[in-house]
Chain A
Amino acid sequence: MNYVDAGYAAALGTVLVYAVSLVLRRRRWERALKMSEPAAEPEGTPVRGEPS
């Protein structure tokens, strides 16, 4: 592999790997958000920011 091929491979490969990692991170956090959302608020549960 010459310097030119190595340069293109490094640039495109890094951008591709980073892009895929971002998509996977986004998917993981979307799943985490879905899991952390309370299913249903029981009656009398405190609501953050609500006036008393």
Chain B
Amino acid sequence: MTEHVIVPRRPRWLDVVGVLGVVAMGFTVWLGLWITPPDVVQGNLARLLYIHPAIATVALYWAGGVAAGGSLLYLWPRTRSFFWDRLAASAVEVGAVFSALTLVTGSLWGRPVWGVWWTWDARLTSTALLLLLEIGYLALRRVPADLDVRAKRCAVTALLVAVDVPIVHFSVDWWNTLHQGGTILDPGFALHVHGIMLWTMGLSFVAFTLVFVWLLGVRYQVEVLQDAVGDQDLEVSLSERWSEDPELVGVAGSPAPQGSGGTP
């Protein structure tokens, strides 16, 4: 597949999403650190739970979903487009940042509550595995290859990475874990959080989701620009090669120059 990379204009809505994300994040921090009361059991440590579940949600469901969905749509012949490949790659990188943050904020909460920074708990271990798999995907993406070859191998890898997502989600049900089950809802959909605490947590989900969308959008633009520069460099190299060696003009896979009549 040969495709000239078209660099789209920066969408205005992305700037709006970014501004809304910053505002929502500001309110989340204000409510989380200053307005909400300390928890009856955990005291001020519960304030970490206003950001940790939202970060984990972005890492696991939003980034994981976009990466898996984009990869599937790329592999499906009827929907194959580099748009999906680039979107999936962008989601994996943003997801890796949020997976790392999930582990860091969870560890900072676990040290005073559980007494350990880390334990080989199923939820923690499967989340760490997700981060390692995402780093592996990003390393694979840097291996030089034709755009189509790279897209195919990355799409397959992203689907393998996505296998870990339900494992992380159900780890607290499948195994006896130190990590608690549903933080907000239990399997019977009974709410565990109420009042201002619930609103703060809800706003945190909105804020981190908006920030995720903005980061994903900008990362996608970087991905397009990288491919466009590679495409331009290839064009320049081919032009130079053709001008140096007229015998190459028109060989298989290389288009003939205009008006040269250089078909083999």
B25 within 8 A of A: yes
- Binary A-proximity of B28-58 (CB < 8 A = 1, otherwise 0): 0100110000000000110110011001000
Once the chains bind, are B25 and A4 in contact (CB under 8 Å)? no
B191 within 8 A of A: no
Residues in chain B near residue A10, CB distance under 8 A: 101, 104-105, 108
- Number of A-B pairs, beta carbon distance below 8 Å: 124
Q: Could you list which residues of chain A lie within 8 angstroms of chain B, going by C-beta atoms?
A: 2-4, 6-8, 10-12, 14-15, 18-19, 22-23, 25-26, 29-30, 32-33, 36-38, 44-52
Once the chains bind, are B233 and A36 in contact (CB under 8 Å)? yes
Residues of A contacting B: mostly: helix
Once the chains bind, are A50 and B258 in contact (CB under 8 Å)? yes
Q: A22–B97 Cα gap in the complex (Å)?
A: 12
- Binary A-proximity of B151-171 (CB < 8 A = 1, otherwise 0): 000000000000000000000
Cβ 8 A contact of B239, one of A8, A33, A46: A46
Once the chains bind, are A3 and B45 in contact (CB under 8 Å)? yes
B257 within 8 A of A: yes
Q: A50–B242 Cα gap in the complex (Å)?
A: 14
Once the chains bind, are B263 and A52 in contact (CB under 8 Å)? yes
Once the chains bind, are A8 and B29 in contact (CB under 8 Å)? yes
Q: Could you list which residues of chain B lie within 8 angstroms of chain A, going by C-beta atoms?
A: 2, 4, 7, 25, 29, 32-33, 44-45, 47-48, 51-52, 55, 97, 100-101, 104-105, 108-109, 111-112, 211, 214-215, 218-219, 221-222, 225-226, 228-229, 232-233, 235-236, 238-239, 242-243, 249-250, 255-263
Once the chains bind, are A18 and B260 in contact (CB under 8 Å)? no
Residues in chain B near residue A47, CB distance under 8 A: 255, 257-258
User: Are A29 and B225 also in contact (CB < 8 A) when A8-B29, A46-B258 are?
Assistant: yes
Once the chains bind, are A4 and B45 in contact (CB under 8 Å)? yes
Once the chains bind, are B228 and A33 in contact (CB under 8 Å)? yes
Once the chains bind, are B97 and A18 in contact (CB under 8 Å)? yes
- A-B pairs with beta carbons under 8 Å apart, 12 shown: A3-B109, A7-B109, A10-B108, A11-B105, A19-B218, A22-B222, A37-B232, A46-B238, A46-B243, A50-B258, A52-B257, A52-B262
Q: Report the minimal beta-carbon distance from B238 to chain A, rounded to whole angstroms.
A: 7
Q: Report the minimal beta-carbon distance from A37 to chain B, rounded to whole angstroms.
A: 6
Interface contacts beyond A4-B48, A36-B229, A49-B2: sample of 18 additional A-B pairs, CB < 8 Å, sorted by A: A3-B45, A7-B51, A7-B104, A8-B29, A8-B32, A11-B101, A12-B29, A18-B215, A22-B222, A26-B221, A33-B229, A36-B232, A38-B236, A45-B239, A47-B255, A49-B255, A52-B250, A52-B255
